[in-house]
Amino acid sequence: MSNKPVILGGEPILPKPVPLTRPHVPRSALVVREFRRILSSGLITEGSCLKEFEERLYGYLGAEHVVAVSSCTKGLMLALNALNITGEVILPSFTFSATAAAVVWSGLRPVFVDCDPETFNADPAAVESAVTDETSAILAVHVFGNPAPVTELEQIATGHDLKLVFDAAHGFGSLYEGETLGSGGDAEVFSCIPTKLLVAAEGGVVATDNPQIAERVRTAREYGNPGNYDAWFAGSDGRMSEFHAALGMESLSSLERNAKKRNRLAGLYRERLGDLPGLRFQKVAAGSRGSFKYFAVAVDFREFGLTRDELALALTYEGIESRAYYDPPVHRLRDYSRYCAHGSDELPVTDKLSRCVICLPMSSVMTRAMVENISECVYRIHAYQHELRRHLCFQRLAA
Ligand SMILES: *Cc1c(COP(=O)(O)O)cnc(C)c1O
């Protein structure tokens, strides 16, 4: 029997299409009961659920203070504001544009740096060499939930007297040197939207060991009102509603289980795809654990025989959704390219990664069988690479 990929006329392996990700939706009966309680209490924002969610997060995260906010982007803005910084902020370009948006909205200038080809996180050496007299902060990212080199970045920040904030949007479920994230640098900011591991529908969490930053963020999410309407500073509205907190709380109760499951699925992907030439996986440091917000694979065209985009196209025919995160990288996006002062070749690793990384389906509700089947599809696409390239070449000629 032929084992041709679907794009070449073969039979599908997957019984039904697999989306890139699916949110872990909290168990409805419990949530509905909680929603009823919130409604009958009349306190639909700033009530007991928010307090309890923050307390439970405090118990889970390794941080002294936890402030839940309306989104990670808003949390980043409030944290940057709380740090009272000016001038330049160093951040990676291999991230989601929201990281940079928080910097620009805060009236700060983003300075993009290159990343490490193995971990996909900001390269500490690149961070250090980007420091100027104008630099006030580093905004690092735990890319796809792979913990950034926190200690090294802290040393750089301390050495140059800079603030250090982490975009921990992907950080729920990650472990850095065996511990949950949350107390790195001056603040770490998490996201609770449905594509992340902890789902509150919408929302973010600012974690910090610094009581002043926590107080300032807490006040900032309330227009800068410390309670007596005598605005302490120009704040914003960044509250998390009771409904979101209730969802988040329910999701938090399965976070560790989901993180473990994703790590098992990632391990299975690595095991199944590890023998194929030209595929490389994001390297997680010994002692750390990724959250595997996505399972990212770097495709070396020369060794694999197909480009990332050719593989993605063939996977689409198999019913497998994939995504080329982050392509283009932030410094090549329409609005952000103007912050790049040194021409087009300044971030070679980022540019290369953005051309070759593909994110394969990953979610807390996926099964081992799905990973096995997806891997099998990658295998047969690779096995038929020559025929596939001819096929695509003819298609291009015919077009
Ligand atoms: C999702 C995401 C954000 C934004 O999160 P919101 O809660 O939607 O504001 C920020 N940074 C990164 C890296 C993200 O992936």
What is the per-residue pLDDT across 239-285, written as a single tens digit (0 to 9) for each? 999 999 999 999 999 999 999 999 999 999 999 999 999 999 999 99
| Mean pLDDT (whole number) for 108-115 | 96
The span from the CA of 336 to the CA of 72, in Å, is: 20
Ligand 1 closest atom vs CA 191? 7
User: Does position 77 have pLDDT exceeding 60, yes or no?
Assistant: yes
The answer to whether 268 and 371 are in contact (CB under 8 A) is: yes
Ligand 1 closest atom vs CA 167? 11
The span from the CA of 38 to the CA of 56, in Å, is: 18
Instruction: Using most ligand atoms within 8 A of CB, pick from 21, 73, 247 the residue to mutate for ligand 1.
Output: 73
Mean pLDDT, all residues of the chain: 95
User: Does position 344 have pLDDT exceeding 80, yes or no?
Assistant: no
The span from the CA of 133 to the CA of 154, in Å, is: 18
Asked whether 157 lines ligand 1 (CB < 6 A), one says no
Confidence of residue 72 (pLDDT cuts 50, 70, 90): very high
Confidence of residue 325 (pLDDT cuts 50, 70, 90): very high
Confidence of residue 396 (pLDDT cuts 50, 70, 90): confident
Asked whether 204 lines ligand 1 (CB < 6 A), one says yes
Instruction: Using most ligand atoms within 8 A of CB, pick from 191, 205, 292 the residue to mutate for ligand 1.
Output: 191
Ligand 1 closest atom vs CA 203? 7
Confidence of residue 337 (pLDDT cuts 50, 70, 90): confident
| Mean pLDDT (whole number) for 3-12 | 96
User: Does position 395 have pLDDT exceeding 90, yes or no?
Assistant: no
Whether pTM exceeds 0.85: yes
The span from the CA of 119 to the CA of 54, in Å, is: 31
Instruction: Using most ligand atoms within 8 A of CB, pick from 78, 99, 121 the residue to mutate for ligand 1.
Output: 99
Q: Are strands 163-168 and 187-191 parallel, antiparallel or unpaired?
A: parallel
- Residue 199 CA to ligand 1 centre (angstroms): 12
Asked whether 169 lines ligand 1 (CB < 6 A), one says yes
Q: How far is C-alpha 367 from the geometric centre of its chain's CA atoms?
A: 22
- Residue 330 CA to ligand 1 centre (angstroms): 13
Tokens of 20: 């890139």
Terminal Cα-to-Cα distance of the chain (whole angstroms): 31
Ligand 1 closest atom vs CA 202? 7
User: Does position 286 have pLDDT exceeding 90, yes or no?
Assistant: yes
The span from the CA of 161 to the CA of 168, in Å, is: 22
Give phi and psi for 88, each to the nearest 5: -100, 145
DSSP letter for each residue of 37-80: HHHHHS--BSSHHHHHHHHHHHHHSS-SEEEEES-HHHHHHHHH
Confidence of residue 398 (pLDDT cuts 50, 70, 90): confident
| Mean pLDDT (whole number) for 43-61 | 95
Tokens of 340: 């790049």
| Mean pLDDT (whole number) for 55-59 | 96
Confidence of residue 331 (pLDDT cuts 50, 70, 90): very high
- Residue 229 CA to ligand 1 centre (angstroms): 31
Confidence of residue 343 (pLDDT cuts 50, 70, 90): low
Give phi and psi for 329, each to the nearest 5: -70, 165
User: Does position 341 have pLDDT exceeding 80, yes or no?
Assistant: no
User: Does position 399 have pLDDT exceeding 90, yes or no?
Assistant: no
| Mean pLDDT (whole number) for 362-389 | 97
Give the pLDDT score at 27.
81
CB within 8 Å of 97: residues ≥ 6 apart: 330, 333, 336
Give the pLDDT score at 1.
52
Asked whether 206 lines ligand 1 (CB < 6 A), one says no
Give the pLDDT score at 310.
97
Site of tokens 């997806």: 374
Could you give the angle at the alpha carbon of 103 between the alpha carbons of 134 and 105, nearest 5°?
Answer: 120
Instruction: Using most ligand atoms within 8 A of CB, pick from 144, 146, 193, 239 the residue to mutate for ligand 1.
Output: 193
User: Does position 313 have pLDDT exceeding 70, yes or no?
Assistant: yes
Confidence of residue 174 (pLDDT cuts 50, 70, 90): very high
CB within 8 Å of 183: residues ≥ 6 apart: 61, 62, 63, 64, 207, 208, 209
Give the pLDDT score at 123.
97
- 3-state helix vs strand vs coil in the chain, percent to 5: 40, 15, 40
